[in-house]
Amino acid sequence: MGRRENNAQQNRPAHDPKCYLCPGNRRAGGPVNPPYRETFVFANDYAALLPDVPLTGGTPDGLFRSEPARGECRVICFSPRHNLTLPEMAVEDIAHVVDVWADQFNELGAKYRWVQIFENKGEIMGCSNPHPHGQVWAGNFLPRFVAPEDRNQKQYLEKKQRLLLLDCVEAELREKVRVIESNPHWVMVVPYWATWPFELLLLPRRHVKRLPELTVEERGSLADILKRGLTRYDNLFETSFPYSMGWHGAPTDDGDYEHWQLHAHFYPPLLRSATVKKFMVGYEMLAEPQRDLTAEQAAKQLQETATVHFKERPTA
């Protein structure tokens, strides 16, 4: 199922005096942003999770059950520039974002079981503010979409004595059909099981359970592959490519998580052009997701896309 969207290209200024996230501006919740010059993190003014929720009120013996959730929500402004998305930033500036992701994971992981770092890019992905930013939500519970990943990775290790996602890395590098980008530390692929048209999976090439475990070299390589891969996204339809992305790493409680491998998911909604969006509705929500093109077809299109951003190409 597809829908045509307005693809009006926005020429945003480097600083928007009306933007809640730009340096020096007042946010919707009242606080004023400092005149920040690099990646900036602040507590979400309208947090979905709060740290002081009473841990009472559950009804575990009834038909309906509920448990309170504690947590914190933060916003990560990637850059002071209102008009720079991740693929348009310099590699060294993206590397600073990676460091902030790792620092936030470390800090919040010391207090909560799960730390979810994510970005919703683009208005059609529900992003209400165009200033490039991501979020981090930390909670005292294991989210429902993470639990199967935890279970399946654990079962695979117990059965094969190998890591599930590292075996996927080896298979993808061997076949090379779905690989979009790779470097000495990372591989970016359209996963074999992809359901979104141009879905991507980003993985380290060695066993890494959580973001803070990455070495300096691996963080630099991550910044480089993010720039190249996300530039391919933008170049595919010559638009600021929308997506939801998120990092999945091992939970941060005292459990044994040697079965976990760090990875990032990218779920973009565009189907055939910058104006046709894929919706997961009807049968796909109620029964089974359906692919509009195969993982191999999607990978071929991305592989044939340039890694120099279309905005940076010389004009005739």
Q: In sequence order, what are the residues at sequence separation of 6 or more whose Cβ sits closer than 8 angstroms to the Cβ of residue 11?
A: 83
Residue tagged active-site, from 82, 96, 131, 133 = 133
Q: Going by C-beta distance under 8 Å and a sequence separation of 6 or more, which residues neighbour residue 301?
A: 198, 236
Contact 121, 244 (CB under 8 A): yes
Q: Are 261 and 248 in contact (CB under 8 A)?
A: no
Amino acid 107 reads E
As a whole number of angstroms, the distance between CA 222 and CA 202 comes to 9
261/207 Cα distance (integer angstroms): 6
CA dihedral 215, 221, 223, 226 (to 10 degrees): -130
**End-to-end Cα spacing for the chain:** 37
Rounded CA-CA distance 221/153 in Å is: 25
Strand partners, 270: 277
Radius of gyration for the chain, computed over Cα atoms and rounded to the nearest angstrom: 20
Residue 231 to residue 312: CA distance in whole angstroms: 11
**What's the rounded Cα separation, in Å, for the pair 98 and 5?**
31
Q: Residue 96 catalytic?
A: no
What one-character-per-residue DSSP string does 236-267 give?
A: HHTS---EEEEEE---SSSS--TT---EEEEE
What is residue 211's DSSP assignment? Answer: G
Catalytic residues: 133
